[in-house]
Amino acid sequence: MRETDARRRVTARAAILAPHARHGYRGTVSDAPVEELLFTYGTLRHAEVQLDTFGRLVAGEPDSLPGYTIDYAEIDDQRVVDVSGMSVHPVLRATGNDLDRVVGVVLHVTAGELDAADEYEVSLYRRVAVTLASGREAWVYVG
């Protein structure tokens, strides 16, 4: 029975990796269930921020968000500055112009990890649902 369970896990893991391999991803994916997509364009792409916020490196693919541009804002929260290593962070601003586009990465996170991202982001940001250039629906933090 244990051998059958092990085969199922290997098969399930291969199914998870297959779509990522098409996009050039050659790393490993955590066994955590994927429940949410989070579009990141700033510090949540950084390994040290992901490890501190999620406790793991998170699988993702490149994508973009039309109708937005990036501004920058000073961050007053010392913990966020310490984790990110930056006191000035990018902030998305909606323009409504489809010619404007922000390039980033879509992370595959659990609901609990999405909550952890909410905790990491300072009050300057709020999480909203958007449609990415790929047509996928994802969460993103805007200013």
Strands 101-109 and 36-40: antiparallel
Tokens for 13, please give them: 């893991």
pLDDT by residue (tens digit) across 7-16? Answer: 444 444 444 4
Whether residues 52 and 80 share a domain: the answer is yes
| Structural domains of the chain, count | 2
Mean pLDDT of the chain: 81
pLDDT by residue (tens digit) across 27-78? Answer: 455 555 668 999 999 999 999 999 999 999 998 999 999 999 999 888 888 8
Residue 96 and residue 8: Cα distance in Å, rounded? 46
Tokens for 98, please give them: 């489809």
Residue 121 and residue 142: Cα distance in Å, rounded? 10
Whether residues 99 and 114 share a domain: the answer is yes
Whether residues 116 and 79 share a domain: the answer is yes
Q: Please give the pLDDT value at position 33.
A: 63
Amino acid type, 116: A
Whether residues 36 and 21 share a domain: the answer is no
Residue 83 and residue 105: Cα distance in Å, rounded? 19
pLDDT by residue (tens digit) across 79-126? Answer: 888 888 887 888 999 999 999 999 999 999 999 999 999 998 878 889
Q: Please give the pLDDT value at position 25.
A: 44
Helix (H), strand (E) at residue 17:
helix 2-22
Task: Domain of residue 126: give its range.
Answer: 32-142
